[in-house]
């Protein structure tokens, strides 16, 4: 083989190595973010007796610390606060904070694996709302996956849904928690659709910063309505840690998308199901129900299929643009 051919072969091999390393780094960062977010959720769940508004404040305010440090390290701190759409950030922050309130409410009243697994319904509602509000064309395969996924969520929630027994007095904290967790999926889906519009003009860091600020302010505003409790030193440190973990998790998540495609790293979100089961058993002594395992598996399968279809449709659209683009 000639020298130029040797050099080309080496360059091609190096390219494959770098690309492979980038993908593996993206997957590693995604899995790390899952670990951090599950740890954060476990801390929130363990904060029994602390009002939800207080939990939202700690989660949001202290999440700013690692985010701002990271931006300062990258010399992007000033740019992170620049925005041309302050109203859009506020609206997204209000909707997202409503979702956070519902998520935390569900976390404090449900077993950890159930609360996390129910939230897997969020991508399903994103598909539904994309069709309803954005008039996106959703084909039969994805509609089928959405319906199957919602069936899986219903299986998870069914033991908690005593409201359908006709005896409203039988509604306990877990029933209300399951309903709140399910409603959180719908609210979070709306917030994610708002993010879709924001990312067209705004930096990811800017979206995170303003969301954290709005959430922290809204958490403070709940004091006259929900009240706050005096925290012990251990509780304070734990909630500060939860906030910092949330910020670190957001950084890891954002960076994972920088190194690999969304369709590649997104399925690893479902590793949180296994991790939450282990954490719930070890920390809280929670044993997953058979309904949770069956329903969770169905939701995960539906979610992965939707991600796969989105990836294939993205490739098809890119190929169509390439074919129709002028030479």
* DSSP labels, 68-120: HHHHHHTT-HHHHH--S-HHHHHHHHHHHHHHHHHHHHHHTTS-HHHHHHHGG
pLDDT of residue 152: 93
The answer to whether 255 touches 204, Cβ cutoff 8 Å, is: no
- What is the distance in angstroms between the CA of the first residue and the CA of the last residue of the chain? 35
Domain residue limits at 158 = 24-324
Q: Token pair for residue 240?
A: 């500060």
> Does 4 reside within a domain?
no
> Does 271 reside within a domain?
yes
Alpha carbon 73 to chain centroid, angstroms: 25
Residue 89 half-sphere exposure toward CB, CA atoms < 13 A? 22
Q: Token pair for residue 267?
A: 């399925």
> Does 115 reside within a domain?
yes
Position 325 confidence tier, pLDDT thresholds 50, 70, 90: very low
Using the structure block, give the residue that is written with the tokens 């304070």. 236
What 3 state SS string does 19-57 have?
HHHHHHHHHHHHHHHHHHHHHHHHHHHHCCCCCHHHHHH
- The model's pTM is 0.83
pLDDT of residue 66: 94
The answer to whether 213 touches 64, Cβ cutoff 8 Å, is: yes
Q: Residues 174-193: what's their mean pLDDT?
A: 92
pLDDT of residue 313: 62
Distance CA 42, CA 279 (A): 8
Distance CA 186, CA 106 (A): 14
Whether residue 240 has pLDDT greater than 90? yes
pLDDT of residue 308: 79
The answer to whether 63 touches 244, Cβ cutoff 8 Å, is: yes
Among 25-39, 154-168, 248-262, 295-309, whose mean pLDDT is lowest?
A: 154-168
Whether residue 322 has pLDDT greater than 60? no
Nearest to 210 by CA among 96, 68, 58, 93: 93
How much is the mean pLDDT over the chain?
84
Q: Residues 177-195: what's their mean pLDDT?
A: 92
> Does 5 reside within a domain?
no
pLDDT of residue 261: 75
> Does 267 reside within a domain?
yes
Among 1-15, 31-45, 179-193, 235-249, whose mean pLDDT is lowest?
A: 1-15
> Does 131 reside within a domain?
yes
Phi, psi of 297 (to 5 degrees): -65, -40
Distance CA 35, CA 38 (A): 5
> Does 9 reside within a domain?
no
Q: How many distinct structural domains can be found in the chain?
A: 1
Q: Token pair for residue 213?
A: 């600020």
Rounded alpha-carbon distances, angstroms, from residue 20 to 29, 79, 246, 262 = 14, 31, 28, 15
For 116, residues 6+ apart whose C-beta sits below 8 A from its C-beta are 38, 41, 272, 273, 276
> Does 10 reside within a domain?
no
Nearest to 122 by CA among 146, 106, 141, 142: 146
Using the structure block, give the residue that is written with the tokens 């449709």. 313
Q: Token pair for residue 258?
A: 């920088």
Among 115-129, 136-150, 154-168, 194-208, whose mean pLDDT is lowest?
A: 154-168
């Amino acid at each position: 083989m000639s020298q130029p051919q040797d050099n080309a072969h080496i360059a091609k091999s190096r390219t494959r190595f770098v690309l492979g390393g980038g993908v593996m780094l993206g997957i590693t960062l995604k899995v790390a973010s899952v670990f951090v977010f599950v740890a954060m959720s476990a801390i929130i769940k363990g904060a029994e007796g602390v009002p939800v508004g207080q939990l939202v404040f700690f989660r949001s305010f202290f999440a700013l610390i690692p985010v701002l440090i990271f931006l300062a390290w990258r010399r992007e701190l000033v740019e992170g606060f620049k925005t041309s759409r302050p109203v859009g950030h506020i609206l997204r922050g209000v909707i997202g904070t409503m979702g956070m309130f519902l998520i935390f409410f569900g976390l404090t009243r449900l077993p950890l694996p159930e609360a996390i697994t129910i939230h897997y319904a969020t991508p399903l509602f994103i598909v539904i709302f994309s069709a309803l509000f954005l008039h996106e064309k959703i084909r039969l395969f994805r509609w089928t996956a959405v319906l199957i996924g919602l069936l899986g969520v219903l299986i998870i929630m069914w033991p908690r849904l005593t409201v359908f027994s006709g005896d409203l007095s039988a509604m306990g904290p877990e029933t209300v928690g399951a309903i709140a967790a399910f409603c959180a999926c719908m609210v979070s889906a709306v917030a994610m659709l708002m993010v879709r519009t924001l990312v067209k003009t705004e930096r990811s860091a800017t979206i995170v910063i303003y969301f954290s600020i709005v959430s922290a302010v809204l958490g403070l505003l709940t004091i006259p309505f929900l009240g706050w409790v005096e925290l012990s030193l251990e509780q304070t440190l734990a909630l500060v840690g939860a906030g910092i973990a949330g910020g670190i998790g957001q950084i890891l998540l954002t960076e994972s998308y920088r190194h690999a495609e969304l369709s590649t790293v997104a399925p690893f979100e479902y590793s949180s199901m296994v991790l939450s089961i282990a954490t719930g058993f070890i920390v809280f002594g929670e044993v997953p129900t058979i309904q949770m395992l069956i329903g969770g598996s169905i939701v995960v399968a539906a979610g992965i299929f939707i991600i796969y279809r989105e990836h294939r449709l993205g490739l098809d659209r890119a190929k169509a643009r390439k074919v129709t683009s002028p030479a």
